[in-house]
Structure 1
Amino acid sequence: METAENGTDDLHRSLLRQHKENHFTAGKTVRDIILGVSDGLTVPFALAAGLSGADASSSIVLTAGIAEVAAGAISMGLGGYLAAKSEADHYMRELRREEEEIIAVPDTEAAEIAEILADYGIEPDEYAPVVNALRRKPQAWLDFMMKFELGLEKPDPRRALQSAFTIAVAYVIGGLVPLSPYMFISSAQKAVSASVVITLAALLIFGYAKGYFTDNKPFQSAFQTALIGALASAAAFGMAKVVQSS
């Protein structure tokens, strides 16, 4: 009997080694990059357009833009750090609460396992051995409840710092794109035209990539991303003109 079970386990392991999953697993990192680059492209772009609309010189636009990129990268990175840290803290609180419940009311928690499995269409005679097996393995029981009852995945302890760094770097990279023409063109009026072309092209490419990696209609995503950036910069430019003329 034991030989047959070992043979089955070997077969399962062999099949798993042969099967290659094509699922995309870097979702959180991509989310951080999207957050950083999208804001990095849009906010400095709108700021530069607004200052250009107020007839500021290229040097002033560039100085203000770099200051904004630095401040924005720090702010966005800190926001990413706090969000990831809050997520980790929430997981640990729920983990301790669930652990206490398993010790204090094990029968109730076992009934919850049965209810979860029943929701998947598993019959009582089929899930009873699973419930009993989990009750004999407290850590596996705890992991099961965290994932299937609460829907929480154990966070990576390095996630907070990685998120902060990724968002900040992505923001800087995105922010330098609309500011780059002001580094080489002394006239702000000419630089803003070049900035519009370069930034809209970058927004289209970024929007397409975002849609591609998130399986969300790349061409539609490219158009929407570019449209939002264009509207933001046009609003800033127009407002600067209105204020200047009043």
Structure 2
Amino acid sequence: MAGELNASLLNEHKEKHFTAGEIVRDVIIGVSDGLTVPFALAAGLSGANATSAVIVTAGVAEIAAGAISMGLGGYLAAKSESDHYMRELKREQEEIIAVPDTEAAEVAEILSEYGIQPHEYSPVVNALRKNPQAWLDFMMKFELGLEKPDPKRAMQSAMTIAIAYILGGIVPLFPYMLISNADKAVLASVIVTLIALLIFGYGKGHFTGSKPFWSALQTTFIGAIASAAAFAMAKLVQG
């Protein structure tokens, strides 16, 4: 009866939590670098008096290399996380079999940290000892703080970061594709990219829980500094 009541209450109450944090993180990584790096490269080449055609060619090459590199980095990071989880899972399985009393004491200690009294957590400890899989899941989550990773996570992360990088990188190069005069194209690129950085920064702040306007200004400032530094360096080297 109590179980049916709880199920009914849960069905009636739907919490609206944001659960796509990993995807958003990958998009942020890809777009932020995609906007900033090709933007700085294009500005630097403009400072060196390169033509629009040369800037587009170099920019496309950089976007391709950057997307592959960033995607591979995302894949390796997610794969390492998955491998770490599996190693810890195997170790925890062995400990539950080899030293069950010690592991049960650890369960009791974890529950006591939440203010649960011995007479309250003893039935929980005993119930977990009768269910090895639930016991293992409990230890992984509450002792080690590890969530089981999605087996598709590594490839999804790689693809998300790479695509986001490409989409971000196209923005600063687009004016050079339309305007043959590099001096005019660089001004258009600056305007378009700064607007894109403002929008992206605002969206990043919204999804990550920080102040959207501050995030927009901060993201735009970083992109502007990177491009200005690249442009100035190119002018300095050129003499």
- TM class by smaller structure: over 0.9
Residue 109 (structure 1) aligned with residue 103 (structure 2): yes
How far residue 22 of structure 1 moved from its aligned partner, in angstroms, is 1.1
The superposition leaves residues 148-174 of structure 1 with CA deviations (integer Å, 9 ceiling, x where unpaired) of 000000000000000000000000000
2:220 corresponds to which letter in structure 1? A
Of 58, 62, 73, the residue aligned with 1:79 is 73
Of 231, 234, 240, the residue aligned with 2:228 is 234
Distance across 2 between alignment mates of 1:123 and 1:217: 41
Distance across 2 between alignment mates of 1:243 and 1:36: 30
1:115 corresponds to which letter in structure 2? E
| Moved beyond 3 Å, runs of 4+ | none
1:148 alignment counterpart: 142
Of 115, 134, 137, the residue aligned with 2:131 is 137
Distance across 1 between alignment mates of 2:190 and 2:14: 43
Distance across 2 between alignment mates of 1:155 and 1:180: 38
Q: Give the aligned length.
A: 239
Percent of aligned positions that are identical: 75
2:203 alignment counterpart: 209
1:170 alignment counterpart: 164
1:166 corresponds to which letter in structure 2? T
The superposition leaves residues 187-237 of structure 1 with CA deviations (integer Å, 9 ceiling, x where unpaired) of 111100000000000000000000001110000000000000000000000
How far residue 20 of structure 1 moved from its aligned partner, in angstroms, is 1.1
1:37-56 correspondence to structure 2 within 5 Å: 37-56=31-50
Of 205, 210, 221, the residue aligned with 2:215 is 221
Distance across 1 between alignment mates of 2:18 and 2:90: 31
1:243 alignment counterpart: 237
2:82 corresponds to which letter in structure 1? A
SS in 1 for 2:115: coil
1:206 corresponds to which letter in structure 2? F
What is the CA RMSD across the aligned residues, in angstroms? 0.3
1:60 alignment counterpart: 54
1:239 corresponds to which letter in structure 2? M
SS in 1 for 2:149: coil
What TM-score do you get using the length of structure 1 for normalisation? 0.97
2:200 corresponds to which letter in structure 1? F
Distance across 2 between alignment mates of 1:61 and 1:196: 14
1:11 alignment counterpart: 5
Residue 99 (structure 1) aligned with residue 93 (structure 2): yes
1:161 alignment counterpart: 155
